[in-house]
Structure 1
Amino acid sequence: MSRRHHALMMFLPLLAISVPLSAGAQTATATPAPASNLDAAARREIVGHLSTELRSKYINPVVGEKGAAAITAAATSGAYDRIVDLPAFTTRLTGDLRGVMTDKHLMVFDTSNRPGPSVASMPAGEAGIVRADRLPGGIGYLQIDGFANPWAFKPALDRAMAGLKGSRALILDVRGNGGGDPASVSYLVSYLVPAGKRIGINTIVWRKAGTTNLTRKPFFSEPTPVSFAGVPAYVLTSGNTFSGGEELPYDMQTLKLGTVVGEVTGGGANPGERVSIGHGVMAFIPAGRAESPVTGSNWEGRGVQPDLKVPAADALATTLRRLGQTPAAATIEAASPVSVFTPRTVPLMGGEAMLRRLLAGRAAREPDYTLLPPDISDAGRAAFLDTHRRLQPLGVPQAIQFRRPDGFGFDEFSLVYPDHTLLVAIVLDPAGKFVDLIGPDPSK
């Protein structure tokens, strides 16, 4: 997949922009940003640039035109004239666009006042795998809170599934899963497909910018170290299950590989890309859509409908009772105090070497863009330049020590200096090219 596009990713901190508007609005209200004295010229330029990008890139050209026309008309009517605060303006634009485009991935946000992600905020686990448990009665349980890039996700999943080998039933818990890479979703589904059988699982359809031409990226099942084919499988969902997190229950349901238990999911199936709008504004514009080989459609706007609809908090107990456990524990902690999954203790190859190269080149006026994938987007180049600027004030550390993997697919490191320690989190692509860096943060 081109680096221009971010797959169904809500969970990466720099891409955590696919939240429902209400959640975003609550965050903005709880932590008000300082007024930015937004003037009429800036508002006009933001609306104009955003409208152009929507018309050029949104997966459905008719809907993209509808959104562009809506905010252009609002600006012309004077609806935005009293908004002088940039965060308030981007929130309003997001609401106006979602009102006519009904796409929960679509979002406009202020990068100038948006707090940067911190290493301390990164979730525990490894590449989205939180825990794996062997429950009484031969029931295997796997909690997946995100689908990180496949080169980090696959080895973590393989270790977790090896620990569940021989289970008579399998519970896949994505109640807290906000999204991820469709290649990783397909790999998990592959564990339920009969060995030696190759089936289509999902396709991402992309629009070529500035045209109505479409390209297709299919995902197929692939060999796995162990097989759970024929094992009764249950997928637990909530209203917070979103984006790539929804693909798993959708795929399992449409391919008749499992039963979905819980709540209707969030309803976001359109991946996209970050686009710089200017004036400190960034937009996440869906340039693609998921397409099932079974239905020819997806879960956009509707969510995945559970086979057994119960409150999310009751989904585990409901499933355990269905599997013959009485009484049934309501939480995995009550059902199984100790997980059999342990995150790795060594880094993925290349992370430390990349950190050393970034630090060695920090004094240069421009970063070394050869460290990036060749098809990186403009937004990706801008983020890399920002990383370079953040590293410029640092000295060369006495040591770089691996700290842990995290739930987003990053590897965390400590940069050790004589009088202090800084934390960073880095992720590379399969070719060893730079993707993202979180931090540096002071060590706690």
Structure 2
Amino acid sequence: MTYRLYLFYLSAIFSICSCANSQNDAKAQMSFPGTEIGRFAAAWFESVNSGETGTLEDYGILKDGWDAYHASMIALAQKNEGITPYLVSYFTDQTIEIYAKENLGGYVRVVLSYDADQNSIYAMSIKKSFEAKDYPLQYGLEEKHVIALVEKIAEELKSNYVYKNDGKKIADGLLARIDTYKKIAQGDLLARTLTKDLVAISNDKHLQVIPPSLESEVIARFIGEDDSEDVTDEPSVEINMLDSNIGYLKMDRFTDNAFFEDQVAETQNSLKDAKAIVIDLRQSGGGDGKAVSNMIAYLINDKIVLKDGQKIPAKNSVANRERPIYILTSDSSKSAAEALAYYAITFGFAKVVGEPTAGAGYLVDVFELPHSFFLVNSTRTSFDKGEGWQGKGVIPDIVVKASEALDIVINEINKNR
């Protein structure tokens, strides 16, 4: 696979605001669209970075009840000494996505939606991301580019999808919609649209089209040996001790590298005196199966053998052979996170509490597409068809709302101890 790095400037159709460069933190110029959604985004960043809501009062922030949620975003920005926008991912009349950098943290995507006709905000979010880059066709896709891209996706699905008949059906479903894609000129918007439709057609939440802006995501997720400073895959494990001496691990991504392994091993020392362990996977987007195996080794009493024949020996476990372990899930828990929950239930080394998981159960590979896009395609499975969690998720031992899962677990731990 060939990887190419592009650095280009945005078109002059955008208005200008001052911001910090994502790669060297020096002052630079970043462009917002000269539209209502662009002006809203500029006001939003000014607000979260200044700590003042005044710039958003004209956008219905108080009317729509967004003030408390927005206050939490201000707090996040202050914790990181600001959130600096550096690249517009895509925009429509009502929605804009912007790549940004927490000044003391990692890369994020900010998604904002505003209806000017209704003077109403209806979406704000900050999601972890990867360093993004400009590319030549970011705003200049033509119909010929789109056709080539969609046809290559269909070809890869037919040739390499885990079940050939399913791959053909998904490919045919995507090709039937090709006319709806031909007028999309923004590369990131096309990638998001294709991803959404692929998932809708297939019920396979692993299928994804990655735009050239997120080449660093491809490198971080699929080429773990790359040590470039430009590639940031922020994991991973947050370790805390809660009240009542309960150990808490929040795991956002399972990463097969030495840093992740060191973090997992550190849980032994950090949580050695905890009376119970809680592993929070409610926002975990998955990751590498090897990292899951490494985590399981610390949680089991005796060697286990997985469905694919992999043998996992027990390490000097954080479980201490006696302490209860709980895993929290939501419908956002995907892939590798689902594997940990699935094997916890299968082998009984932890109790799973929360919502059924996303149902992304196949193993994937990445394929190059025309114009430096990429396709994440499901190519393998460790289970016979119908087994595992593909398409149906992992059903927790205790099914509750994800937002209530931690409190319920804490109450159960305290009641039983």
Establish whether TM, by shorter chain, passes 0.5: yes
Q: Partner amino acid for 1:238? A: S
The structure 1 residue matched to 2:401, chosen from 306, 311, 333, is 311
Distance 1:109 1:144, change over 3 A: closer
Q: Which residue of 2 aligns with 1:64?
A: 167
Q: CA deviation at 1:253?
A: 1.0
The aligned residue for residue 90 of structure 1 is 191
Amino acid aligned to 2:305: G
| CA pair 89-167 structure 1, distance change in 2 beyond 3 A | closer
Question: Counterpart of 1:128 in structure 2: which amino acid?
Answer: S
CA displacement 1:42-67 (0-9 Å, x = unmatched): 23322222221111221121111112
Alignment of 1:89-168 (within 5 A): 89-111=190-212, 127-133=235-241, 135-136=243-244, 138-149=245-256, 151-168=258-275
What residue number does 1:73 align with? 176
Three-state SS of the structure 2 residue aligned to 1:131 is strand
Aligned length: 281
1:12-51 matches, within 5 Å, as 29-31=95-97, 36-51=139-154
- C-alpha separation between the residues in 2 aligned to 1:119 and 1:263? 37
The aligned counterpart of 1:200 is 305
- Show the 5 A alignment for 1:331-410: none
Change in 2 beyond 3 A, CA 1:105/1:249:
same
For 2:406 and 2:229, the matched residues in 1 are separated by 31
- Give the CA deviation at 1:244: 0.9
Alpha-carbon distance in 2 for matches of 1:304, 1:247: 9
The reply on whether 1:322 has 2:412 as its aligned counterpart is yes
Contact 1:134 1:164 in 2 (8 A): no
- Secondary structure of the residue aligned to 1:272 is strand
- Out of 367, 374, 387, the residue aligned to residue 275 of structure 1 is 367
Q: Summarize the Cα distance change of 1:95–1:178 in structure 2 as closer, same or farther, 3 Å threshold.
A: closer
8 A contact 1:186–1:202 mirrored in 2: no
- 1:262 equivalent in structure 2: 354
Alpha-carbon separation, structure 2, partners of 1:121 and 1:311? 35
TM-score of the two chains, using structure 1 as the length reference: 0.55
Pick 1 or 2: higher relative contact order, CA cutoff 8 A, min separation 6: 1
d(CA) in 1 for partners of 2:287, 2:278: 19
- Pair 72,121 (structure 1): closer, same or farther in 2 beyond 3 Å: closer
Aligned-partner SS, 2:306: strand
Summarize deviations over 1:125-144 as a string: whole Å, max 9, x none: xx5221142652x5333222
Unaligned ranges ≥5, structure 1: 5-23, 204-217, 327-444
Residue identity matched to 1:183: K
The change in CA–CA distance for 1:122 and 1:39 in structure 2 (over 3 A counts) is: closer
Say whether 1:53 aligns with 2:156.
yes
User: Secondary structure in 1 aligned to 2:175?
Assistant: helix
Listed as ranges, the gaps of 5+ residues in structure 2 are 3-89, 99-133, 218-227
Q: Per the alignment, in what secondary structure is the counterpart of residue 193 of structure 1?
A: coil
Q: 1:220 aligns with which of 299, 304, 311?
A: 311
Conservation of the 8 A alpha-carbon contact between 2:326 and 2:353: yes
Q: Normalized against structure 2, the TM-score is what?
A: 0.58
* Matches of 1:123 and 1:181, distance apart in 2: 12
The CA distance in 2 between the partners of 1:174 and 1:60, in whole Å, is 29
Q: 1:135 and 1:50 mapped to 2: Cα distance?
A: 50
The match for 1:288 is 380
Closer/same/farther in 2, CA of residues 147 and 38 from structure 1, 3 Å limit: closer
- The Cα of 1:97 is off from its aligned counterpart by 2.3
Q: CA deviation at 1:264?
A: 2.1
CA-based RMSD of the aligned residues comes to 3.6
- The corresponding residue for 1:338 is none
**Aligned-pair identity (%):** 26
AA aligned opposite 1:99:
A
Offset from partner CA, 1:372-410 (integer Å, 9 cap, x none): xxxxxxxxxxxxxxxxxxxxxxxxxxxxxxxxxxxxxxx
Residue in 2 aligned with 1:432? Answer: none
Q: Give the Cα separation in 1 of the matches to 2:259 and 2:153.
A: 34
